[in-house]
Amino acid sequence: MTEDKIFLDNCWYAAAWEHEIAQADFKLGRTICEKPIVFFRTESGRYIALDNRCCHRAAPLTMGRIEAECIRCMYHGMLYNEHGQVIQIPGQKQIPENFKVHSYPVQEKGGMLWVWMGDPALADPKDILDFPPLSDPENWRGFTEPSYLHYDANWLLIVDNLSDFSHVAFVHTNTLGGSEEYAFTSVPEEIEPLDTGFRMERWHYEAGVPPYHAKVLDQDEQAMLVDRCNLMEMHIPGVFLMETRFKPAGAEPQGQGKGFHQYRNCQYMTPETRNTTHFFWNYLHQAERQDASISGSLRESLLEGFMEDKVIIEAQQKLLQQDPTFDPKFMVADKAFALVRRIWNARLEEEEKVSPRIPPLSSRNRIL
């Protein structure tokens, strides 16, 4: 495996929430795996993803103009179709075949745009991990606009963070966790390996209600002791899905009524560069879906918790960049994220064998 092979090509990456495209006049520039891409919505409603550099002088197509199913570079007026091919050059009739930019397969699911960075022939939309609550407003309510954060850190550090929930007790004592006791008294059940990651269940019994949950409860429920279950899945390249269930301490899991609550949580980590990450998330609730204040409170609480993570993870990144020879030590709780990293590295090696990456030509003597 070459040193430059650090990203998987043949997989779907979360690229943008649909509302982000709409808010940006239906064009959005976003770097994915160190490749600049323009995402835009055509007049017929289709989503297109192209290299965000005009093949003429590298002007950004995000500064272009959407015309029907095409986008025009507003530097010298070259018009690109949905396949990235130049179909019009002002003042020039002949258009060479190599006047084109790369086109990426893109799909929408659950309000999220997904982009395929590798061989288009292998891009199967069925491989996009579905998260049904995002497409089920009759049973689940999320944020009015699903959220986005930018991390100055490698995406795998965020994957590590979400793969070991013992950190909740210390990083999120007063927000998502509730107490340091969580790390000592809650232990993961058997970790189930998957072809793309793992599935894990973690119970915390007879505990106080964590602060973020207490904020949306009445006084009687706030005073309860509860059993909390987090059923988590992590999939490469960086998809985290979780069911969170609360019940009165000692009650049967299938019960209903006072003290029984469910949440659904999705988080997507997409590498922007080797040291920066796009982070997308939504947190959905089931009870009292008509009450907008609940989703507002949950968003505020979860954002507070994520910012606590962000401070630590970005500090990690700085120290690791200062000393790339750092040799991390592993403990039992690292089993889940070690599994993800093994799968990731194995997939990288498989891709390298099939299609070795060619080192880029030196641009030292090139004149643009």
Name the average pLDDT for the chain: 90
Name the residue with tokens 């059923």.
231
What's the confidence (pLDDT) of residue 331? 82
The residue type of 180 is E
Band of residue 103 on the pLDDT scale cut at 50, 70, 90: very high
Q: What is 120-164 written as a DSSP string?
A: GGG--GGGSPP-GGGG-TTT-B--SS-EEEEESS-HHHHHHHHH-
CA atoms within 13 A on the CB side of 121: 0
Predicted confidence (pLDDT) per residue in 332-341, tens digit: 878 888 999 9
Ordered domains of the chain (ranges, CATH): 12-126 (2.102.10.10), 130-351 (3.90.380.10)
Q: Give me the mean pLDDT over the 309-337 stretch.
A: 91
- Check if the beta carbon of residue 285 is closer than 8 Å to that of residue 298: yes
Q: Which of 58, 63, 103 is nearest to 81 (CA)?
A: 103
Give 193's Cβ-side CA count (13 Å radius): 8
What's the pTM? Answer: 0.91
Which residues neighbour 147 within 8 Å (Cβ) at sequence distance 6 or greater?
A: 280, 281, 282, 299, 303
The answer to whether 28 and 62 are in contact (CB under 8 A) is: yes
Q: Which are the contacts of 307, defined by CB distance < 8 A and separation ≥ 6?
A: none
Q: Which residues contact 305 (CB under 8 A, 6 or more apart)?
A: 171, 172, 175, 176, 212
Residue 208: in which H helix or E strand, if any? strand 197-208
Q: For 254-299, what is each residue's pLDDT tens digit?
A: 888 899 999 999 999 999 999 999 999 999 998 777 788 898 999 9
Sheet-wide strand order for 65-67: 65-67, 70-72, 79-80, 86-88
Segment holding 322, helix H or strand E = helix 292-322
Read off φ and ψ for residue 6, nearest 5 degrees: -120, -10
